[in-house]
Chain A
Amino acid sequence: MIRRHPGQFALWLAVVVVSIVVLASIRGPDLLGVSGMLDFLGRASAIVGLVMLLLAAALSARLPGFDRWFGGLTSLWRTHHLLGAGSLLLLMTHPLLLALAAADDGVGSAMARIFPALSDWPVWSGWAALVLMMIFLAPSFHFFGRPDYQRWKWLHRLAGPAVLLGLIHTYQYGRTLAPAIESALWTLLGLLALAALVWHFALSRRFGRRRYAVERVIMVANNLVELVLEPIGRRQLQYRAGQFVYLTPFDEMLSAGHAEEHPYTLSSSPLEDRLRIAIKDLGDASRAIQTIRPGSKVTVEGPYGNFFPDDAPPRQLWIAGGIGITPFLGRARHLALLVQPVDVHLIYCVQDEARARFLDEFQQIAVRLEGFQVTPHFFYRQGPLDHAFIDAHCADTAERAVFICGPGPLNQLARKLALGAGVGRADIHTEDFELV
């Protein structure tokens, strides 16, 4: 983990170190009775919870290239999600523990501790932060069913005020750690989180996005288009094959998704002078974009993802499922343009022949490019992918690095099969489309 995802390692190490420092700062009076212990734990849960919230906010910067340290943006989002969950859990226990700590003097004391007079505004700023967190995290954890993507994104902006109010609350009440440590911790993490939020919500629009125009819209199938984007201006996207971007279309005729950003995988090779993005109809915005008019302006932010690390072994088995073919498409096109022999076997899993999008192109590449093989796997005929199928078509799987991209269940199955075939965990790379 240290080598592959140093960012993940450093981040969780920071959480552990802070937790240890907090626990080590317990003082004599805290240990005197149950009440003192509860009070201390209430304060400790707040410190660790706020640290996790600030780290989650810092991760939300979505700086291109930064996600590589975390094993790609999907993996970074998963960490962000876990930090958010941990933070909310700890911060919800914080007032309850403090109330319990004061309950040795009766229920009224417990109430007064967490609901004091209005003039005790720092307590209320803490409450405001907690309630805002519940509101902006409710969709992330599906409190009220599956959320609408745009509403979820909009609500998530409340993270900014929540972080600020939480910090104000802490600056007033922090008394568990040594004052120097406490102010250094909150200043450092607070600035980091604030910088990330300012970049994400304000600056990235201006400085992080590249402008393109839709040159052509290729109808690959009735529910799949490939956009060909022509750069406007000199600043073009620098990327590696198989990465993805956040695309924002500007076409007011779109029935949904105008001026909204959504993540899509690049299907072109970086050697091409145009950007290509294959988009399958999977929701309102991706359905609407099938009808985007040539000439429309779009912006592209990225690139993100680290599906094909630079140091990956050259002998590779690719397992794609459905629209999970797109990163492989970009990669195969790139390898074809490089015109160097490769050792790559692609197993392309789809329901039936009609859904095997781009299969023709892969087969053409296989003819031209030495060492590139493609094997379609049709679910309706061959059932779920299994060992026998993989062995029959790619006997030396154990000696290959395996790259998997498809729907969740296929990813899990393919991963299990690769492990069963003797591929090491470090040599299995997966990418999924669910951005938690």
Chain B
Amino acid sequence: MRKLVYTTFVAFWAATGMLLALHLLSPNHNPAVVPEVVGSAIEPAGETAGAVPGPAHFTLQEIARHDRLEDCWMAIEGSVFNLTDYIPRHPTRPELLESWCGTDATAGMRTKGNDSDHSPRAWRMLERYRIGDLVAGESAG
């Protein structure tokens, strides 16, 4: 038992150290700025976007219909995201996210409830779930 625990202890720090080293040595380990997230230049990508042909347009009313964890859309900085598949991987309780489903969640993304912005990486990851743009007024999608 002692050997097993000690071996795992060493392996743990070896793995963590290796991860850290790879991260520091990778050329873009310190991304400078949050990428542009507005505009239709970015092609929809990722698992969920495949169903939507090209950039689509949604109103807040339409988004509001997807206000559950099992079907969760959010508008963030003028773009629309289907985050249903991401919810289980988000590192907080799903209930915290649920109130943002079906709404403009820019404030939630920017403040995390404690005035700290999400990391640049989180912003980049968000792009994978983009399904279109937010437009004002009646349905256009």
Q: In the docked arrangement, what's the CA distance between A89 and B84, Å? A: 32
Residues of A within 8 A of B93 (CB): 172-175, 179
Check A141–B125 contact: CB distance below 8 A.
no
The one of A110, A134, A173 that contacts B91, using a Cβ cutoff of 8 Å: A173
Contact with B along A394-411 (1 / 0, CB 8 A): 000000000000000000
Interface residues of B in 1-27 (CB under 8 A from A): 1-2, 4-6, 8-9, 12, 15-16, 19-20, 22-23, 26
Residues of A within 8 A of B91 (CB): 113, 123, 173
Check B89–A39 contact: CB distance below 8 A.
yes
For the complex formed, measure the closest distance between the CB of B33 and the CB atoms of chain A, giving whole angstroms.
15
Residues of A within 8 A of B95 (CB): 179
Residues of B within 8 A of A27 (CB): 88
Q: Helix, strand, loop or mixed for chain B's interface? A: helix
Check A134–B89 contact: CB distance below 8 A.
no
> Interface residue tally of chain A, by bracket?
35 or more
A109-B125, A111-B20, A111-B23 known; A36 and B89 CB under 8 Å?
yes
Tell yes or no: A30 within 8 A of B by CB. yes
Interface residues of A in 161-206 (CB under 8 A from B): 172-175, 179
| CB nearest to B70 among chain A residues | A28
Check A88–B5 contact: CB distance below 8 A.
yes
Q: In the docked arrangement, what's the CA distance between A29 and B9, Å? A: 31
Tell yes or no: B135 within 8 A of A by CB. no
Residues of A within 8 A of B84 (CB): 29
Tell yes or no: B65 within 8 A of A by CB. no
For the complex formed, measure the closest distance between the CB of A285 and the CB atoms of chain B, giving whole angstroms.
23
Check A143–B4 contact: CB distance below 8 A.
no
Tell yes or no: A341 within 8 A of B by CB. no
Check B114–A108 contact: CB distance below 8 A.
no
Interface residues of A in 126-183 (CB under 8 A from B): 134, 137, 141-143, 172-175, 179
Q: In the docked arrangement, what's the CA distance between A107 and B121, Å? A: 11
For the complex formed, measure the closest distance between the CB of B101 and the CB atoms of chain A, giving whole angstroms.
15
Check A30–B88 contact: CB distance below 8 A.
yes
Check B119–A117 contact: CB distance below 8 A.
yes
Check B119–A116 contact: CB distance below 8 A.
yes
For the complex formed, measure the closest distance between the CB of A36 and the CB atoms of chain B, giving whole angstroms.
7
Q: In the docked arrangement, what's the CA distance between A40 and B121, Å? A: 21
Q: In the docked arrangement, what's the CA distance between A396 and B55, Å? A: 89
Check B2–A141 contact: CB distance below 8 A.
yes
Check B121–A112 contact: CB distance below 8 A.
yes
Q: In the docked arrangement, what's the CA distance between A134 and B88, Å? A: 29
Q: Helix, strand, loop or mixed for chain A's interface? A: helix
The one of A89, A96, A107 that contacts B22, using a Cβ cutoff of 8 Å: A107
Check B6–A39 contact: CB distance below 8 A.
no
The one of B2, B15, B119 that contacts A142, using a Cβ cutoff of 8 Å: B2
A96-B12, A112-B121, A143-B9 known; A85 and B1 CB under 8 Å?
yes
The one of A36, A105, A106, A110 that contacts B88, using a Cβ cutoff of 8 Å: A36
Residues of A within 8 A of B20 (CB): 111, 115
For the complex formed, measure the closest distance between the CB of B99 and the CB atoms of chain A, giving whole angstroms.
14
| CB nearest to A172 among chain B residues | B92
Interface residues of A in 302-338 (CB under 8 A from B): none
| CB nearest to A92 among chain B residues | B12
For the complex formed, measure the closest distance between the CB of B133 and the CB atoms of chain A, giving whole angstroms.
23
| CB nearest to A121 among chain B residues | B114
The residue in A29, A115, A174 that gathers the most chain B C-beta atoms within 10 A of its C-beta is: A29
| CB nearest to A27 among chain B residues | B88
Tell yes or no: A82 within 8 A of B by CB. yes
| CB nearest to B1 among chain A residues | A85
Tell yes or no: B105 within 8 A of A by CB. no
Tell yes or no: B35 within 8 A of A by CB. no
Check A141–B12 contact: CB distance below 8 A.
no
Residues of B within 8 A of A29 (CB): 84-85, 87-89
Q: In the docked arrangement, what's the CA distance between A172 and B112, Å? A: 13
For the complex formed, measure the closest distance between the CB of A58 and the CB atoms of chain B, giving whole angstroms.
21
Check B89–A107 contact: CB distance below 8 A.
no
The one of A89, A107, A143 that contacts B26, using a Cβ cutoff of 8 Å: A107
Residues of B within 8 A of A57 (CB): none
For the complex formed, measure the closest distance between the CB of A372 and the CB atoms of chain B, giving whole angstroms.
40
Check A119–B116 contact: CB distance below 8 A.
yes
Q: In the docked arrangement, what's the CA distance between A105 and B125, Å? A: 8
A108-B26, A116-B119, A143-B9 known; A39 and B1 CB under 8 Å?
no
Residues of B within 8 A of A275 (CB): none
For the complex formed, measure the closest distance between the CB of A272 and the CB atoms of chain B, giving whole angstroms.
40
Q: In the docked arrangement, what's the CA distance between A154 and B95, Å? A: 40
The 3 closest A-B pairs by CB, nearest first: A119-B116, A111-B23, A92-B12
Given contacts A111-B20, A123-B91, 7 further A-B contacts (CB under 8 A): A35-B89, A89-B4, A89-B8, A109-B125, A117-B116, A141-B2, A179-B95
**Can you list 28 A-B contacts with CB-CB less than 8 angstroms, sorted by A residue number?**
A29-B89, A35-B89, A40-B88, A81-B1, A85-B5, A88-B5, A93-B8, A95-B16, A96-B16, A99-B19, A108-B23, A108-B26, A109-B121, A109-B125, A110-B19, A111-B20, A112-B119, A114-B16, A114-B19, A116-B119, A117-B119, A119-B114, A123-B91, A141-B5, A142-B6, A143-B9, A172-B92, A174-B93
